[in-house]
């Protein structure tokens, strides 16, 4: 792929403000000519020249270091000049103006990296990792972005692509030569190959999901019926008086997000409107938004008011099971769920009851708390860690974005269809088509087939000079 524009771009690459060194980068076809003018000589390739940076009248703007990288052996793949000068903003601006007068234009945000991608120096997942690395706020985020930048994620995608290609070749051959007397892959072989692809994809999916959690935090949504104490719980966990709490059911309508950190793991907690049938249009919208948040959550805290349980004639296990079944049914989803039984301060034998709750023999974890007195909150924090641990954080994490997860989900759905078709020995052509679609969407992760709109969105979120 070649660049559509033949412009030469320049930008200050160091952050704004004062610093001992400020770096300006130039990239594009005019770089060599511009270098001659601003330095007054032809720089050697990849040699750190200590030299003067000259204005048009040959007056000295600054003395610094100039390094010329000849394309394709540069960050962008084009001829590139890096000027390291003193980190004074007026001085950097003066150099920038000089470069503009020599025919360079100011780079758009992320344009250096975009050119690097377009010139095949890195793929799209790696380019995104550049932005993630720059923005990393924690060591874990920086480490995983760095691994993606070095190709850890892309390599996994490429491997899956190869495996898919092999499978497709087998299927296509079975289609094309089915009339001839050749030894072709049996349906069973094809089924095994597809299943193997799916297993691989599951592993990568889990890892990518961890990557997103490291970057964006574990998305925990507090849901439940009105007045169960959801907003009180959000305030208690976050230590902020963020959500409005009243004794009137239906208080919360908007979605409220707060990020907390539990032993270094970022957790994004969302308070939602209580789920109930209502005719009030505002509350109805609140319930719709709550359901939307639940759909994209990594984990749900389903808050139940103990006093509503006490009114139930059935035993605890049955009540909780019916609550969670009802909840899952309503949402048409079997999401990761923890039942949080709240307001335990309102009953007499709190401690005994909390233990009784934890021992309830249902598949879903149950934790008893009082959001008001904050009793039991530590157990809840432990639960967050367990949920995160379930996602197996390891040293070889790589960073990933929600965009990648969506692509992997679509790829997986096509592979599942292919697997089902192979199981039923249905039309090989349909299998081939599902495999092709799966491979296509996987290619969007590394940018083999990406729309200009998406590229604009990705690189537009970069800072200028990168
Ligand atoms: N005693 C006691 N009261 C609580 C506890 N948690 C919440 N409450 C009370 O229950 C009422 C409802 O609390 P909220 O936090 O507003 O409940 P909610 O689930 O957010 O309600 P909606 O937003 O209406 O769905 C308020 O009067 C709270 O003070 C608790 O642990 N113990
Ligand atoms: Mg509320």
The CA angle 308-309-311, to the nearest 5 degrees, is 70
Residues 366 and 245 in one domain: yes
Residues of the chain with pLDDT > 90, as a percent, come to 58
272 lines ligand 1 (CB under 6 A): no
3-class secondary structure, 24: strand
Could you tell me if residue 462 is inside a domain?
no
Least-confidence region, from 3-7, 82-86, 297-301: 3-7
Q: Quick one: three-class SS letters along 382-436?
A: HHHHHHHHCCCCCCCCCCCCHHHHHHHHHHHHHHHHHHHHHHCCCCHHHHHHHHH
pLDDT of residue 4: 44
Query: What band does 440 get if pLDDT is binned at 50, 70 and 90?
Result: very high
List, in order, residues 6 or more apart from 88 with CB less than 8 Å away.
18, 22
pLDDT of residue 2: 42
Q: CA-to-CA distance for 216 and 210, rounded, in angstroms?
A: 10
Of 168, 175, 72, 158, residue with least CA distance to 123: 158
Mean pLDDT of 431-457: 86
Q: Is the pLDDT of residue 23 over 90?
A: yes
Q: Is there an atom of ligand 1 within 6 Å of 247 CB?
A: yes
- 356 and 401 Cβ atoms separated by less than 8 Å: no
User: What is the residue-averaged pLDDT of the chain?
Assistant: 87
230 lies in the same domain as 208: no
Query: 415: how many CB neighbours lie within 10 A of its CB?
Result: 26
pLDDT at residue 385 in the model: 83
The radius of gyration computed from the CA coordinates of the chain, to the nearest angstrom, equals: 29
1, part of any domain: no
Instruction: Flag the least confident range among 18-27, 167-176, 354-363.
Output: 354-363
Q: Whose alpha carbon is nearest atom 8 of ligand 1?
A: 229
Q: Please report the pLDDT score of residue 188 as a whole number.
A: 83
Tokens coding 396: 């070889």
Q: What is the distance between the alpha carbons of residues 167 and 161, in angstroms, rounded to a whole number?
A: 10
Where residue 307 sits, what CATH number does that domain have?
3.40.50.300
| Res 103: pLDDT | 96
Same domain, 183 and 67: no
Tokens of 299: 């984990």
Token reading at 380: 């809840």
Are 199 and 282 in a shared domain? no
Work out how many domains the chain is built from and give that number. 3
Residue 4 lies in a domain: no
Domain boundary among 319, 354, 389: 389
Do 379 and 321 lie in one domain? The reply is yes
Q: What is the mean pLDDT of residues 310-338?
A: 66
Residues 161 and 283 in one domain: no
Determine the atom of ligand 1 nearest the C-alpha atom of 342. Answer: 31
Q: What angle do CA 181, 430, 445 make, to 5 degrees?
A: 115
107 DSSP assignment: P
Q: Which ligand is nearest to the CA of 307?
A: 1
Instruction: Give the sheet arrangement for strand 19-27, strand by strand.
Output: 49-54, 60-69, 80-87, 19-27, 9-12, 105-106
Identify the CATH number of the domain in which residue 181 sits.
1.20.120.430
Question: What is the number of the ligand closest to the CA of 229?
Answer: 1
Give per-residue pLDDT as tens, 372-413: 999 999 999 998 888 876 555 666 788 898 899 999 999 999
Most confident of 214-228, 229-243, 256-270, 306-320: 229-243
Domain around 110: 9-121
Please state the atom number of ligand 1 nearest to the C-alpha of residue 244.
Answer: 16
- Closest by alpha carbon to 195, among 461, 449, 457, 415? 415
Whether 359 is in a domain gets the answer yes
Same domain, 324 and 185: no
CA 39 to CA 130: how far, in whole Å?
30
Cα torsion angle, 435, 408, 457, 8, sign? negative
- Strand 49-54 relative to strand 60-69, pairing: antiparallel
Is the domain of 146 the same as that of 65? no
Is the model more confident about 198 or about 355? 198
Query: Are residues 205 and 222 both part of a single domain?
Result: no
**What integer pLDDT is reported at residue 143 of this predicted model?**
87
Q: For the domain that residue 59 is a member of, what is the CATH number?
A: 3.30.1360.120
Judge whether 36 lies within some domain: yes
**Residue 395 belongs to a domain:** no
Model confidence at 98, in pLDDT bands (50, 70, 90)?
very high
Residues 428 and 283 in one domain: no
| Tens digits of residue pLDDT in 338-379 | 889 999 998 876 666 667 776 776 777 889 999 999 999 999
With respect to residue 453, please indicate whether it lies within any of the assigned structural domains: no
Residue 126 lies in a domain: no
Task: Write out pLDDT tens, residues 33-63.
Answer: 999 999 999 999 999 999 999 999 999 999 9
How far apart are the CA of 320 and the centre of ligand 2, in A? Answer: 21
Among the atoms of ligand 1, which is closest to the Cα of residue 303? 19
Q: Report how far residue 367's alpha carbon sits from residue 339's, in angstroms, rounded to the nearest whole number.
A: 6
In 10 A of CB 66, how many CB atoms? 22
Instruction: State the pLDDT at residue 1.
Output: 38
| C-alpha 200 chain-centroid distance | 20
Residues 311 and 327 in one domain: yes
**In this structure, are 416 and 347 located in the same domain?**
no
In the predicted structure, residue 332 carries a pLDDT above the cut 60: no
């Amino acid at each position: 792929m070649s660049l559509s524009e033949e412009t030469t771009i320049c930008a200050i690459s160091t952050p704004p403000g004062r610093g001992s060194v400020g770096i300006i980068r130039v990239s594009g076809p005019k770089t060599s000519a511009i270098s001659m003018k601003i330095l007054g000589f032809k720089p050697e390739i990849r040699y750190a020249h200590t030299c003067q940076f000259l204005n048009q009248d040959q007056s000295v703007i600054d003395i610094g270091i100039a390094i010329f990288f000849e394309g394709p052996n540069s960050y962008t793949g084009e001829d590139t000049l890096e000027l390291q000068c003193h980190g004074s903003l007026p001085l950097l601006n003066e150099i920038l103006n000089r470069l503009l007068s020599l025919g360079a234009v100011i780079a758009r945000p992320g344009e250096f990296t975009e050119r690097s991608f377009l010139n095949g120096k890195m793929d799209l997942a790696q380019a995104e990792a550049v932005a993630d690395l720059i923005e990393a706020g924690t060591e874990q985020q920086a480490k995983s972005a760095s691994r993606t930048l070095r190709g850890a994620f892309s390599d996994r995608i490429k491997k899956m692509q190869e495996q898919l290609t092999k499978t497709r070749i087998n299927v296509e051959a079975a289609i094309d030569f089915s009339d001839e007397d050749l030894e072709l892959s049996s349906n069973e072989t094809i089924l095994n190959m597809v299943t193997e692809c799916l297993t691989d994809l599951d592993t990568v999916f889990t890892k990518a999901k961890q990557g997103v959690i490291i970057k964006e935090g574990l998305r925990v949504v507090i849901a439940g019926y009105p007045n169960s104490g959801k907003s009180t719980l959000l305030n208690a966990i976050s230590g902020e008086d963020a959500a409005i709490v009243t004794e009137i059911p239906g208080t919360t309508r908007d979605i409220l997000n707060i990020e907390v950190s539990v032993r270094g793991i970022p957790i994004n907690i969302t308070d939602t409107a209580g789920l109930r049938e209502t005719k009030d249009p505002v509350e109805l919208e609140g319930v719709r938004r709550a359901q939307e948040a639940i759909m994209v959550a990594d984990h749900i805290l389903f808050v139940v008011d103990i006093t509503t349980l006490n009114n139930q004639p059935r035993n605890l296990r049955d009540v909780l099971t019916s609550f969670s079944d009802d909840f899952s049914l309503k949402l048409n989803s079997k999401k990761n769920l923890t039942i949080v039984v709240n307001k335990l301060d309102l009953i007499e034998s709190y401690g005994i009851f909390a233990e009784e709750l934890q021992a309830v023999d249902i598949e879903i974890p149950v934790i008893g708390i009082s959001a008001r007195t904050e009793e039991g909150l530590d157990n809840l924090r432990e639960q967050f860690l367990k949920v995160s641990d379930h996602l197996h954080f390891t040293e070889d994490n790589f960073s990933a974005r929600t965009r990648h997860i969506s692509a992997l989900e679509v790829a997986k759905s096509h592979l599942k269809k292919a697997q089902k078709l192979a199981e039923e020995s249905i039309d090989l052509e349909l299998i081939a088509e599902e495999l092709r679609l799966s491979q296509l969407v996987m290619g969007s992760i590394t940018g083999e087939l990406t729309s200009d709109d998406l590229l604009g969105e990705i690189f537009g979120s970069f800072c200028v000079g990168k």
